[in-house]
Amino acid sequence: KDQPASSDAVYDGLRQRNAAIEARCPELKREDSPSERVGARPSSGFAEASHAVPMLSLGNAFEDSDVTDFVKRVRKFLNVKEDEAMAFTSEPKIDGLSANL
């Protein structure tokens, strides 16, 4: 229980490959596709909770270009010019953890 069969990197790579196949061949997309769900069923010790605003999943960054694209989207959203400094903080990822603050 709660023992993944593969590493996060392998799993993320397979999800990315699945999404690419579904984008190229939408007729192959299944109703139970991993691209249509977020996370796994919670362990039995946790109670269900409703959220007024949906909790969304963040995308993964596999290439430098993924990070560059993210920074461009943040700049656009915040209306920060290309020549203005921006600072980011990164921390280790803890899989399976969600927080609604």
Residues serving a catalytic function are 93
- Helices marked H in the chain — which ranges? 8-24, 64-78
CA distances from 83 to 7, 18, 74, 76, 86 (A): 39, 37, 14, 13, 9
Report how far apart, in Å, the C-alpha atoms of 87 and of each of 33, 71, 74, 78 are: 37, 10, 11, 13
